[in-house]
Protein backbone atom coordinates (compact mmCIF):
# COMPACT_ATOMS: atom_id res chain seq x y z
CA UNK A 1 0.00 0.00 0.00
CA UNK A 2 1.39 3.41 -0.96
CA UNK A 3 1.14 6.45 1.29
CA UNK A 4 1.68 10.13 0.70
CA UNK A 5 4.54 10.42 3.23
CA UNK A 6 6.98 11.75 0.66
CA UNK A 7 5.47 15.22 1.04
CA UNK A 8 7.00 15.25 4.50
CA UNK A 9 10.39 15.26 2.74
CA UNK A 10 10.04 19.01 2.33
CA UNK A 11 10.08 19.54 6.08
CA UNK A 12 12.77 16.97 6.63
CA UNK A 13 15.11 18.39 4.02
CA UNK A 14 14.55 21.96 5.06
CA UNK A 15 15.66 20.98 8.56
CA UNK A 16 18.81 19.53 7.04
CA UNK A 17 19.34 22.82 5.26
CA UNK A 18 18.96 24.59 8.57
CA UNK A 19 21.61 22.26 10.02
CA UNK A 20 23.83 23.13 7.06
CA UNK A 21 23.25 26.83 7.59
CA UNK A 22 26.85 27.31 8.61
CA UNK A 23 27.91 25.56 5.38
CA UNK A 24 26.42 28.34 3.29
CA UNK A 25 28.01 30.99 5.51
CA UNK A 26 24.68 32.31 6.74
CA UNK A 27 26.40 33.41 9.89
CA UNK A 28 28.58 35.64 7.73
CA UNK A 29 25.51 36.92 5.91
CA UNK A 30 23.71 37.79 9.08
CA UNK A 31 25.13 40.71 11.02
CA UNK A 32 24.84 41.11 14.76
CA UNK A 33 21.75 43.31 14.50
CA UNK A 34 18.38 42.36 16.02
CA UNK A 35 16.99 41.61 12.55
CA UNK A 36 19.77 39.15 11.82
CA UNK A 37 19.32 37.44 15.19
CA UNK A 38 15.58 37.05 14.58
CA UNK A 39 16.18 35.69 11.08
CA UNK A 40 18.60 33.08 12.44
CA UNK A 41 16.22 32.11 15.23
CA UNK A 42 13.29 31.79 12.80
CA UNK A 43 15.32 29.56 10.50
CA UNK A 44 16.30 27.29 13.39
CA UNK A 45 12.79 26.76 14.82
CA UNK A 46 10.65 26.69 11.68
CA UNK A 47 10.19 22.90 11.97
CA UNK A 48 10.27 22.35 15.71
CA UNK A 49 7.90 25.17 16.61
CA UNK A 50 6.06 26.40 13.56
CA UNK A 51 3.69 28.57 15.65
CA UNK A 52 6.61 30.46 17.18
CA UNK A 53 8.17 30.63 13.71
CA UNK A 54 5.08 32.40 12.36
CA UNK A 55 5.22 34.86 15.27
CA UNK A 56 8.83 35.69 14.39
CA UNK A 57 7.83 36.20 10.75
CA UNK A 58 5.27 38.80 11.88
CA UNK A 59 7.97 40.55 13.89
CA UNK A 60 10.28 40.57 10.90
CA UNK A 61 7.56 41.83 8.56
CA UNK A 62 7.06 44.81 10.88
CA UNK A 63 10.74 45.71 10.48
CA UNK A 64 10.93 45.07 6.71
CA UNK A 65 11.31 48.75 5.76
CA UNK A 66 14.61 49.04 7.60
CA UNK A 67 16.13 45.82 6.27
CA UNK A 68 19.06 45.48 3.91
CA UNK A 69 18.58 43.79 0.54
CA UNK A 70 20.11 40.54 1.81
CA UNK A 71 17.87 40.58 4.89
CA UNK A 72 14.85 41.10 2.63
CA UNK A 73 15.94 38.08 0.55
CA UNK A 74 16.19 35.86 3.64
CA UNK A 75 12.78 37.00 4.83
CA UNK A 76 11.32 36.23 1.39
CA UNK A 77 12.96 32.80 1.53
CA UNK A 78 11.35 32.04 4.91
CA UNK A 79 7.89 33.11 3.64
CA UNK A 80 8.29 30.92 0.54
CA UNK A 81 9.40 28.01 2.72
CA UNK A 82 6.27 28.41 4.90
CA UNK A 83 4.06 28.21 1.80
CA UNK A 84 5.57 24.86 0.93
CA UNK A 85 5.38 23.66 4.53
CA UNK A 86 1.63 24.38 4.63
CA UNK A 87 1.12 22.57 1.33
CA UNK A 88 0.70 25.63 -0.90
CA UNK A 89 3.19 24.20 -3.36
CA UNK A 90 2.31 26.18 -6.52
CA UNK A 91 2.58 29.44 -4.56
CA UNK A 92 5.85 28.28 -2.98
CA UNK A 93 7.32 27.40 -6.39
CA UNK A 94 6.36 30.78 -7.81
CA UNK A 95 7.80 32.57 -4.77
CA UNK A 96 11.11 30.72 -5.01
CA UNK A 97 11.38 31.44 -8.74
CA UNK A 98 10.88 35.16 -8.13
CA UNK A 99 13.45 35.08 -5.36
CA UNK A 100 16.02 33.28 -7.53
CA UNK A 101 15.50 35.79 -10.32
CA UNK A 102 16.05 38.69 -7.94
CA UNK A 103 18.66 37.76 -5.37
CA UNK A 104 22.41 37.91 -5.93
CA UNK A 105 23.31 36.36 -2.57
CA UNK A 106 24.85 32.93 -3.10
CA UNK A 107 23.65 31.60 0.26
CA UNK A 108 20.05 32.57 -0.41
CA UNK A 109 20.22 31.11 -3.93
CA UNK A 110 21.54 27.79 -2.63
CA UNK A 111 18.86 27.47 0.03
CA UNK A 112 16.08 28.59 -2.30
CA UNK A 113 17.13 26.28 -5.13
CA UNK A 114 17.14 23.13 -2.98
CA UNK A 115 13.83 24.04 -1.33
CA UNK A 116 12.43 24.67 -4.81
CA UNK A 117 13.24 21.09 -5.83
CA UNK A 118 11.07 19.71 -3.03
CA UNK A 119 8.19 22.08 -3.70
CA UNK A 120 8.37 21.33 -7.45
CA UNK A 121 7.97 17.65 -6.63
CA UNK A 122 5.08 18.30 -4.26
CA UNK A 123 3.45 20.59 -6.84
CA UNK A 124 3.68 17.80 -9.44
CA UNK A 125 6.24 19.77 -11.48
CA UNK A 126 8.36 16.64 -11.74
CA UNK A 127 10.04 17.54 -14.98
CA UNK A 128 11.14 20.89 -13.57
CA UNK A 129 12.37 19.18 -10.42
CA UNK A 130 14.45 16.68 -12.40
CA UNK A 131 15.90 19.49 -14.52
CA UNK A 132 16.86 21.41 -11.39
CA UNK A 133 18.31 18.25 -9.86
CA UNK A 134 20.31 17.55 -13.02
CA UNK A 135 21.91 20.98 -12.75
CA UNK A 136 22.58 20.37 -9.06
CA UNK A 137 24.25 17.02 -9.71
CA UNK A 138 26.29 18.50 -12.56
CA UNK A 139 27.86 20.91 -10.06
CA UNK A 140 28.72 18.09 -7.61
CA UNK A 141 32.26 17.33 -8.93
CA UNK A 142 33.30 20.89 -8.13
CA UNK A 143 32.12 20.60 -4.51
CA UNK A 144 34.91 19.78 -2.05
CA UNK A 145 32.90 20.10 1.16
CA UNK A 146 31.48 16.86 2.61
CA UNK A 147 28.35 18.46 4.06
CA UNK A 148 27.51 20.15 0.77
CA UNK A 149 27.88 16.85 -1.04
CA UNK A 150 25.75 15.21 1.61
CA UNK A 151 22.93 17.65 0.88
CA UNK A 152 23.28 17.02 -2.86
CA UNK A 153 23.11 13.23 -2.40
CA UNK A 154 20.17 13.42 0.04
CA UNK A 155 18.27 15.69 -2.34
CA UNK A 156 18.95 13.32 -5.24
CA UNK A 157 17.74 10.35 -3.16
CA UNK A 158 14.49 12.13 -2.35
CA UNK A 159 13.74 13.29 -5.90
CA UNK A 160 14.60 9.98 -7.56
CA UNK A 161 12.52 8.10 -5.01
CA UNK A 162 9.56 10.32 -5.85
CA UNK A 163 10.09 9.40 -9.50
CA UNK A 164 9.95 5.71 -8.65
CA UNK A 165 13.67 5.24 -9.31
CA UNK A 166 14.21 3.46 -6.01
CA UNK A 167 17.47 1.69 -6.88
CA UNK A 168 19.00 4.93 -8.13
CA UNK A 169 17.77 6.71 -5.00
CA UNK A 170 19.29 4.05 -2.73
CA UNK A 171 22.63 4.55 -4.48
CA UNK A 172 22.59 8.22 -3.48
CA UNK A 173 21.52 7.18 0.04
CA UNK A 174 24.72 5.12 0.28
CA UNK A 175 26.76 8.14 -0.86
CA UNK A 176 25.04 10.34 1.72
CA UNK A 177 25.62 7.79 4.51
CA UNK A 178 29.34 7.91 3.72
CA UNK A 179 29.39 11.67 4.41
CA UNK A 180 27.25 12.14 7.52
CA UNK A 181 28.29 15.41 9.21
CA UNK A 182 26.09 15.01 12.33
CA UNK A 183 23.11 13.19 13.92
CA UNK A 184 20.58 15.52 12.29
CA UNK A 185 21.91 14.56 8.87
CA UNK A 186 22.00 10.88 9.83
CA UNK A 187 18.39 11.14 10.98
CA UNK A 188 17.36 12.64 7.65
CA UNK A 189 19.12 9.97 5.59
CA UNK A 190 17.70 7.11 7.67
CA UNK A 191 14.18 8.52 7.31
CA UNK A 192 14.65 8.71 3.53
CA UNK A 193 16.03 5.17 3.43
CA UNK A 194 13.12 3.75 5.45
CA UNK A 195 10.56 5.59 3.32
CA UNK A 196 12.10 4.25 0.08
CA UNK A 197 12.07 0.70 1.48
CA UNK A 198 8.41 1.06 2.50
CA UNK A 199 7.41 2.47 -0.90
CA UNK A 200 9.23 -0.36 -2.73
CA UNK A 201 7.57 -2.99 -0.50
CA UNK A 202 10.84 -4.08 1.13
CA UNK A 203 10.33 -2.71 4.66
CA UNK A 204 9.57 -5.27 7.36
CA UNK A 205 8.27 -4.21 10.81
CA UNK A 206 11.25 -5.85 12.52
CA UNK A 207 13.91 -4.18 10.33
CA UNK A 208 16.71 -2.96 12.64
CA UNK A 209 17.10 0.23 10.63
CA UNK A 210 13.71 1.43 11.89
CA UNK A 211 14.79 1.54 15.54
CA UNK A 212 18.22 2.87 14.55
CA UNK A 213 16.55 5.71 12.65
CA UNK A 214 14.20 6.51 15.57
CA UNK A 215 17.08 6.58 18.05
CA UNK A 216 19.15 8.78 15.76
CA UNK A 217 16.31 11.26 15.23
CA UNK A 218 15.58 11.30 18.95
CA UNK A 219 19.23 12.16 19.70
CA UNK A 220 19.13 14.87 17.05
CA UNK A 221 15.84 16.22 18.44
CA UNK A 222 14.16 15.99 15.02
CA UNK A 223 10.46 15.21 15.77
CA UNK A 224 9.26 15.57 12.17
CA UNK A 225 11.64 12.92 10.83
CA UNK A 226 11.01 10.80 13.92
CA UNK A 227 7.26 10.91 13.30
CA UNK A 228 7.72 10.16 9.61
CA UNK A 229 9.65 6.99 10.47
CA UNK A 230 6.82 6.02 12.87
CA UNK A 231 4.33 6.43 10.01
CA UNK A 232 6.40 4.19 7.72
CA UNK A 233 6.69 1.64 10.52
CA UNK A 234 2.91 1.70 10.97
CA UNK A 235 2.47 1.19 7.22
CA UNK A 236 4.84 -1.79 7.39
CA UNK A 237 2.75 -3.31 10.20
CA UNK A 238 -0.41 -2.79 8.19
CA UNK A 239 1.14 -4.26 5.02
CA UNK A 240 2.27 -7.35 6.93
CA UNK A 241 -1.26 -8.02 8.30
CA UNK A 242 -0.79 -6.54 11.80
CA UNK A 243 -3.41 -3.75 11.97
CA UNK A 244 -3.53 -3.73 15.82
CA UNK A 245 0.19 -3.06 16.07
CA UNK A 246 -0.17 -0.36 13.40
CA UNK A 247 -3.01 1.38 15.26
CA UNK A 248 -1.31 1.04 18.62
CA UNK A 249 1.84 2.67 17.26
CA UNK A 250 -0.03 5.58 15.67
CA UNK A 251 -2.35 6.15 18.65
CA UNK A 252 0.60 6.37 20.99
CA UNK A 253 2.19 9.08 18.85
CA UNK A 254 -0.84 10.62 17.13
CA UNK A 255 -0.71 13.85 19.10
CA UNK A 256 2.98 14.37 18.29
CA UNK A 257 2.43 13.61 14.61
CA UNK A 258 -0.52 15.95 14.31
CA UNK A 259 1.51 18.67 16.05
CA UNK A 260 3.95 18.77 13.15
CA UNK A 261 1.31 20.71 11.12
CA UNK A 262 2.27 18.81 7.95
CA UNK A 263 -0.85 18.37 5.85
CA UNK A 264 0.54 15.43 3.86
CA UNK A 265 1.84 13.50 6.88
CA UNK A 266 -1.26 14.00 9.05
CA UNK A 267 -3.49 12.97 6.13
CA UNK A 268 -1.39 9.84 5.67
CA UNK A 269 -1.66 8.99 9.40
CA UNK A 270 -5.45 9.25 9.30
CA UNK A 271 -5.53 7.16 6.13
CA UNK A 272 -3.47 4.37 7.70
CA UNK A 273 -5.63 4.43 10.82
CA UNK A 274 -8.78 4.26 8.69
CA UNK A 275 -7.48 1.11 6.98
CA UNK A 276 -6.49 -0.35 10.36
CA UNK A 277 -9.94 0.27 11.91
CA UNK A 278 -11.61 -1.16 8.82
CA UNK A 279 -9.60 -4.38 9.05
CA UNK A 280 -10.50 -4.68 12.74
CA UNK A 281 -14.20 -4.14 11.93
CA UNK A 282 -14.64 -0.78 13.71
CA UNK A 283 -16.59 0.97 10.95
CA UNK A 284 -17.30 4.19 12.84
CA UNK A 285 -13.64 4.75 13.66
CA UNK A 286 -12.70 3.82 10.10
CA UNK A 287 -15.17 6.36 8.65
CA UNK A 288 -14.05 9.12 11.03
CA UNK A 289 -10.38 8.58 10.26
CA UNK A 290 -11.04 8.46 6.49
CA UNK A 291 -12.97 11.73 6.57
CA UNK A 292 -10.18 13.32 8.62
CA UNK A 293 -7.66 12.12 6.01
CA UNK A 294 -9.67 13.81 3.25
CA UNK A 295 -9.92 17.03 5.24
CA UNK A 296 -6.20 17.13 5.94
CA UNK A 297 -5.19 16.23 2.38
CA UNK A 298 -5.54 19.90 1.40
CA UNK A 299 -6.99 19.24 -2.07
CA UNK A 300 -4.21 16.82 -3.06
CA UNK A 301 -6.64 14.53 -4.94
CA UNK A 302 -3.83 12.46 -6.49
CA UNK A 303 -2.38 11.53 -3.09
CA UNK A 304 -2.39 7.86 -2.08
CA UNK A 305 -3.90 8.79 1.29
CA UNK A 306 -6.92 10.32 -0.50
CA UNK A 307 -7.53 7.21 -2.61
CA UNK A 308 -7.23 5.01 0.50
CA UNK A 309 -9.69 7.24 2.41
CA UNK A 310 -12.26 7.07 -0.38
CA UNK A 311 -11.84 3.31 -0.54
CA UNK A 312 -12.44 2.99 3.22
CA UNK A 313 -15.59 5.15 3.01
CA UNK A 314 -16.81 3.04 0.08
CA UNK A 315 -16.24 -0.23 1.97
CA UNK A 316 -17.85 1.15 5.17
CA UNK A 317 -20.95 2.31 3.25
CA UNK A 318 -21.14 -1.02 1.46
CA UNK A 319 -20.81 -2.93 4.74
CA UNK A 320 -23.61 -0.81 6.25
CA UNK A 321 -25.87 -1.45 3.26
CA UNK A 322 -25.91 2.15 2.04
CA UNK A 323 -25.60 1.36 -1.67
CA UNK A 324 -26.13 4.93 -2.84
CA UNK A 325 -23.37 6.29 -0.63
CA UNK A 326 -21.19 3.32 -1.49
CA UNK A 327 -21.57 4.02 -5.22
CA UNK A 328 -20.72 7.70 -4.70
CA UNK A 329 -17.63 6.87 -2.63
CA UNK A 330 -16.58 4.21 -5.10
CA UNK A 331 -16.71 6.70 -7.95
CA UNK A 332 -14.52 9.08 -5.95
CA UNK A 333 -12.20 6.22 -5.04
CA UNK A 334 -11.88 5.19 -8.69
CA UNK A 335 -11.10 8.77 -9.73
CA UNK A 336 -8.57 9.25 -6.89
CA UNK A 337 -6.89 5.90 -7.54
CA UNK A 338 -6.62 6.73 -11.22
CA UNK A 339 -5.24 10.16 -10.34
CA UNK A 340 -2.67 8.51 -8.06
CA UNK A 341 -1.63 6.03 -10.73
CA UNK A 342 -1.44 8.82 -13.27
CA UNK A 343 0.62 10.82 -10.79
CA UNK A 344 3.09 7.92 -10.42
CA UNK A 345 3.22 7.45 -14.18
CA UNK A 346 3.67 11.17 -14.73
CA UNK A 347 6.61 11.23 -12.33
CA UNK A 348 8.23 8.24 -14.00
CA UNK A 349 7.62 9.71 -17.45
CA UNK A 350 9.02 13.08 -16.36
CA UNK A 351 12.18 11.37 -15.12
CA UNK A 352 12.56 9.42 -18.37
CA UNK A 353 11.94 12.53 -20.44
CA UNK A 354 14.50 14.62 -18.57
CA UNK A 355 16.90 11.68 -18.46
CA UNK A 356 16.63 11.30 -22.23
CA UNK A 357 17.04 15.03 -22.69
CA UNK A 358 20.19 14.91 -20.58
CA UNK A 359 21.48 11.98 -22.60
CA UNK A 360 20.77 13.88 -25.83
CA UNK A 361 22.63 16.90 -24.49
CA UNK A 362 25.49 14.67 -23.42
CA UNK A 363 25.65 13.15 -26.89
CA UNK A 364 25.63 16.62 -28.42
CA UNK A 365 28.29 17.72 -25.97
CA UNK A 366 30.32 14.61 -26.74
CA UNK A 367 30.01 15.28 -30.46
CA UNK A 368 31.01 18.91 -29.92
CA UNK A 369 33.92 17.82 -27.75
CA UNK A 370 34.98 15.32 -30.41
CA UNK A 371 34.85 18.07 -33.02
CA UNK A 372 36.83 20.35 -30.75
CA UNK A 373 39.36 17.62 -30.13
CA UNK A 374 39.70 17.03 -33.85
CA UNK A 375 40.17 20.76 -34.38
CA UNK A 376 42.71 20.87 -31.58
CA UNK A 377 44.44 17.84 -33.08
CA UNK A 378 44.61 19.53 -36.48
CA UNK A 379 45.97 22.65 -34.83
CA UNK A 380 48.53 20.53 -33.02
CA UNK A 381 49.51 18.87 -36.30
CA UNK A 382 49.86 22.24 -37.99
CA UNK A 383 51.75 23.56 -35.01
CA UNK A 384 53.99 20.52 -35.11
CA UNK A 385 54.56 21.07 -38.83
CA UNK A 386 55.47 24.68 -38.14
CA UNK A 387 57.82 23.59 -35.36
CA UNK A 388 59.33 20.97 -37.68
CA UNK A 389 59.85 23.58 -40.40
CA UNK A 390 61.39 25.90 -37.85
CA UNK A 391 63.59 23.06 -36.65
CA UNK A 392 64.72 22.38 -40.22
CA UNK A 393 65.48 26.06 -40.68
CA UNK A 394 67.38 26.17 -37.41
CA UNK A 395 69.28 23.03 -38.36
CA UNK A 396 70.09 24.55 -41.74
CA UNK A 397 71.19 27.80 -40.15
CA UNK A 398 73.21 25.86 -37.61
CA UNK A 399 74.81 23.90 -40.43
CA UNK A 400 75.55 27.09 -42.31
CA UNK A 401 76.99 28.65 -39.18
CA UNK A 402 79.11 25.58 -38.54
CA UNK A 403 80.28 25.46 -42.14
CA UNK A 404 80.82 29.22 -42.16
CA UNK A 405 82.72 29.06 -38.89
CA UNK A 406 84.78 26.19 -40.16
CA UNK A 407 85.47 28.06 -43.41
CA UNK A 408 86.34 31.24 -41.52
CA UNK A 409 88.68 29.38 -39.20
CA UNK A 410 90.17 27.57 -42.16
CA UNK A 411 90.63 30.84 -44.04
CA UNK A 412 92.11 32.46 -40.98
CA UNK A 413 94.47 29.55 -40.58
CA UNK A 414 95.35 29.76 -44.22
CA UNK A 415 96.02 33.48 -43.89
CA UNK A 416 98.03 32.84 -40.78
CA UNK A 417 100.05 30.13 -42.47
CA UNK A 418 100.39 32.34 -45.51
CA UNK A 419 101.58 35.19 -43.36
CA UNK A 420 103.96 32.89 -41.57
CA UNK A 421 105.19 31.65 -44.95
CA UNK A 422 105.72 35.23 -46.15
CA UNK A 423 107.20 36.74 -43.02
CA UNK A 424 110.47 36.29 -41.22
CA UNK A 425 109.82 34.54 -37.96
CA UNK A 426 112.22 36.65 -35.91
CA UNK A 427 111.77 40.19 -37.20
CA UNK A 428 108.26 40.03 -38.67
CA UNK A 429 109.27 41.58 -41.99
CA UNK A 430 109.10 39.85 -45.39
CA UNK A 431 111.27 36.78 -45.82
CA UNK A 432 113.56 36.38 -48.81
CA UNK A 433 111.01 34.82 -51.17
CA UNK A 434 108.22 37.19 -50.30
CA UNK A 435 110.57 40.14 -50.64
CA UNK A 436 111.53 39.03 -54.13
CA UNK A 437 107.90 38.52 -55.16
CA UNK A 438 106.68 41.82 -53.74
CA UNK A 439 109.67 43.82 -54.96
CA UNK A 440 109.39 42.49 -58.51
CA UNK A 441 105.68 43.34 -58.57
CA UNK A 442 106.40 46.91 -57.46
CA UNK A 443 109.23 47.27 -59.96
CA UNK A 444 106.95 46.10 -62.78
CA UNK A 445 104.47 48.81 -61.87
CA UNK A 446 107.24 51.43 -61.74
CA UNK A 447 108.63 50.32 -65.09
CA UNK A 448 105.19 50.47 -66.68
CA UNK A 449 104.65 54.02 -65.42
CA UNK A 450 108.33 55.11 -65.89
CA UNK A 451 108.70 55.75 -62.20
CA UNK A 452 112.00 55.63 -60.34
CA UNK A 453 112.88 53.24 -57.52
CA UNK A 454 115.90 52.50 -55.36
CA UNK A 455 117.10 49.40 -53.51
CA UNK A 456 119.00 49.50 -50.23
CA UNK A 457 121.06 46.54 -49.13
CA UNK A 458 122.18 46.63 -45.51
CA UNK A 459 124.20 44.39 -43.29
CA UNK A 460 124.95 44.63 -39.56
CA UNK A 461 128.60 45.26 -38.88
CA UNK A 462 130.58 42.66 -36.92
CA UNK A 463 127.40 40.70 -36.15
CA UNK A 464 129.36 37.49 -35.57
CA UNK A 465 131.24 39.23 -32.77
CA UNK A 466 127.94 40.19 -31.13
CA UNK A 467 126.82 36.57 -31.16
CA UNK A 468 130.19 35.35 -29.90
CA UNK A 469 130.47 37.92 -27.09
CA UNK A 470 126.86 38.21 -25.98
CA UNK A 471 125.17 35.09 -27.25
CA UNK A 472 122.58 34.40 -29.90
CA UNK A 473 119.78 35.87 -27.79
CA UNK A 474 121.61 39.20 -27.77
CA UNK A 475 122.14 38.81 -31.49
CA UNK A 476 118.43 38.33 -32.00
CA UNK A 477 117.78 41.48 -29.99
CA UNK A 478 120.24 43.37 -32.13
CA UNK A 479 118.49 42.22 -35.30
CA UNK A 480 115.09 43.28 -33.98
CA UNK A 481 116.50 46.65 -32.90
CA UNK A 482 117.95 47.32 -36.33
CA UNK A 483 114.68 46.31 -38.06
CA UNK A 484 112.66 48.58 -35.74
CA UNK A 485 114.94 51.51 -36.47
CA UNK A 486 114.54 51.01 -40.21
CA UNK A 487 110.79 50.50 -40.13
CA UNK A 488 110.38 53.82 -38.35
CA UNK A 489 111.73 55.56 -41.48
CA UNK A 490 109.79 53.51 -44.10
CA UNK A 491 106.56 54.26 -45.92
CA UNK A 492 103.67 51.87 -46.44
CA UNK A 493 104.70 51.46 -50.07
CA UNK A 494 108.26 50.40 -49.26
CA UNK A 495 109.14 46.68 -49.28
CA UNK A 496 111.39 45.53 -46.43
CA UNK A 497 112.77 41.99 -46.30
CA UNK A 498 115.35 39.82 -44.59
CA UNK A 499 117.53 38.05 -47.13
CA UNK A 500 119.29 35.90 -44.58
CA UNK A 501 121.26 36.17 -41.35
CA UNK A 502 122.02 39.87 -40.74
CA UNK A 503 121.44 40.87 -44.38
CA UNK A 504 118.38 42.96 -45.33
CA UNK A 505 117.03 44.70 -48.42
CA UNK A 506 114.63 47.60 -48.88
CA UNK A 507 112.85 48.59 -52.12
CA UNK A 508 111.75 52.23 -52.09
CA UNK A 509 109.55 53.11 -55.08
CA UNK A 510 109.00 56.66 -56.35
CA UNK A 511 112.24 58.09 -54.89
CA UNK A 512 115.42 59.27 -56.53
CA UNK A 513 119.00 58.64 -55.41
CA UNK A 514 119.21 61.78 -53.29
CA UNK A 515 116.10 61.03 -51.27
CA UNK A 516 117.02 57.37 -50.97
CA UNK A 517 120.50 58.20 -49.70
CA UNK A 518 119.10 60.70 -47.17
CA UNK A 519 116.70 58.08 -45.76
CA UNK A 520 119.47 55.50 -45.66
CA UNK A 521 121.61 57.89 -43.61
CA UNK A 522 118.74 58.40 -41.17
CA UNK A 523 118.37 54.65 -40.76
CA UNK A 524 122.09 54.20 -40.24
CA UNK A 525 122.18 56.84 -37.51
CA UNK A 526 119.06 55.41 -35.80
CA UNK A 527 120.58 51.92 -35.73
CA UNK A 528 123.81 53.22 -34.24
CA UNK A 529 121.94 55.32 -31.67
CA UNK A 530 119.75 52.44 -30.48
CA UNK A 531 122.51 50.37 -28.95
CA UNK A 532 121.32 50.23 -25.31
CA UNK A 533 118.67 47.71 -24.31
CA UNK A 534 118.14 47.25 -20.61
CA UNK A 535 121.41 46.18 -19.01
CA UNK A 536 122.93 45.13 -22.32
CA UNK A 537 125.42 47.63 -23.79
CA UNK A 538 125.74 46.35 -27.34
CA UNK A 539 127.14 48.54 -30.14
CA UNK A 540 125.24 47.96 -33.36
CA UNK A 541 126.07 49.60 -36.66
CA UNK A 542 125.10 48.82 -40.21
CA UNK A 543 126.58 49.33 -43.66
CA UNK A 544 124.29 50.33 -46.54
CA UNK A 545 124.57 49.91 -50.28
CA UNK A 546 122.25 51.90 -52.56
CA UNK A 547 121.35 51.27 -56.22
CA UNK A 548 118.67 53.01 -58.28
CA UNK A 549 116.77 52.22 -61.47
CA UNK A 550 118.34 55.25 -63.08
CA UNK A 551 121.61 53.30 -63.28
CA UNK A 552 120.50 49.68 -63.23
CA UNK A 553 117.04 49.64 -64.73
CA UNK A 554 113.92 48.01 -63.27
CA UNK A 555 115.46 44.55 -62.97
CA UNK A 556 115.47 43.34 -59.37
CA UNK A 557 118.44 40.97 -59.57
CA UNK A 558 120.48 43.71 -61.22
CA UNK A 559 119.44 46.24 -58.58
CA UNK A 560 120.24 43.83 -55.74
CA UNK A 561 123.61 42.97 -57.26
CA UNK A 562 124.46 46.65 -57.63
CA UNK A 563 123.26 47.46 -54.11
CA UNK A 564 125.26 44.51 -52.76
CA UNK A 565 128.34 45.75 -54.57
CA UNK A 566 127.87 49.19 -52.98
CA UNK A 567 127.35 47.52 -49.61
CA UNK A 568 130.68 45.75 -49.78
CA UNK A 569 132.25 49.03 -50.80
CA UNK A 570 130.86 50.50 -47.55
CA UNK A 571 132.31 47.57 -45.63
CA UNK A 572 135.72 48.11 -47.19
CA UNK A 573 135.50 51.83 -46.53
CA UNK A 574 135.22 51.25 -42.77
CA UNK A 575 131.59 50.15 -42.18
CA UNK A 576 128.73 52.17 -40.62
CA UNK A 577 128.25 54.16 -43.76
CA UNK A 578 126.20 54.44 -46.93
CA UNK A 579 127.69 53.84 -50.35
CA UNK A 580 125.93 54.36 -53.66
CA UNK A 581 126.27 52.44 -56.89
CA UNK A 582 128.25 53.19 -58.93
CA UNK A 583 130.87 53.96 -56.35
CA UNK A 584 134.43 55.15 -56.54
CA UNK A 585 136.93 52.67 -55.18
CA UNK A 586 139.65 54.48 -53.15
CA UNK A 587 143.26 54.09 -54.30
For residue 159, with 0-12 CB atoms within 10 Å meaning exposed, 13-18 middle and 19 or more buried, which class applies?
A: buried
In the predicted structure, residue 487 carries a pLDDT above the cut 90: yes
Contact present, 428 and 496 (Cβ < 8 Å): no
Q: Which pLDDT belongs to residue 562?
A: 95
The string of DSSP codes covering 200-248 is TT---TT-HHHHHHHHHHHHTT-HHHHHHHHHHHHHHHHHTT-HHHHHH
Q: Which fold has domain 24-144?
A: 1.25.40
Give dist(CA 499, CA 92) in Å, integer.
Answer: 120
Alpha helices in 103-145 (DSSP H): 106-122, 126-138
In the predicted structure, residue 517 carries a pLDDT above the cut 60: yes
Residues of the chain within CATH 3.30.70.270 domain(s) are 432-580
Of 114, 59, 54, 104, the residue nearest 83 (C-alpha): 54
CA 461 to chain centre: 89
Percent of the chain at pLDDT exceeding 90:
27
Residues of the chain within CATH 1.25.40.10 domain(s) are 145-260
Choice among 6-20, 65-79, 223-237, 419-433 with the minimum mean pLDDT: 6-20
CATH number for 432-580: choose from 3.30.70.270, 3.40.718.10, 3.40.50.1820, 2.60.120.380: 3.30.70.270
Consecutive H or E run containing 546: strand 542-548
Choice among 7-16, 172-181, 438-447, 489-498 with the minimum mean pLDDT: 7-16
Q: Which pLDDT belongs to residue 349?
A: 64
Q: What is the pTM of this model?
A: 0.48
Give dist(CA 93, CA 113) in Å, integer.
Answer: 10
Res. 167 pLDDT band, cuts 50 70 90: confident
Q: Which fold has domain 145-260?
A: 1.25.40
Give dist(CA 577, CA 541) in Å, integer.
Answer: 9
Amino acid sequence: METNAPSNRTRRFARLLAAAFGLYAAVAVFATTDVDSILRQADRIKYKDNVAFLTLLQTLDAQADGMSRTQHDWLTYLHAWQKGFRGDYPDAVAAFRKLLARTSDNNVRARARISLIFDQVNADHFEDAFVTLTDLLASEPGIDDDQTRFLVYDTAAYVYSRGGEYDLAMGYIDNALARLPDDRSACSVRETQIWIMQQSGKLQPDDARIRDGLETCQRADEPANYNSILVQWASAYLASGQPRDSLKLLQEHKADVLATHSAALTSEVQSIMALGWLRLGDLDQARASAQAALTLANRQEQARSVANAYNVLYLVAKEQGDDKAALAWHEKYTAADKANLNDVSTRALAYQKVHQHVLDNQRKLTAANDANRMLALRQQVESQKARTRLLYILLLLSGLLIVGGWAWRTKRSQLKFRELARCDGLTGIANRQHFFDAAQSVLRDCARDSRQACVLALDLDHFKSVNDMHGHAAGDIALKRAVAACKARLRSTDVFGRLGGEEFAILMPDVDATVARSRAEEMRRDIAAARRDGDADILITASFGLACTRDCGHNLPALLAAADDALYAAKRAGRNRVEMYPHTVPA
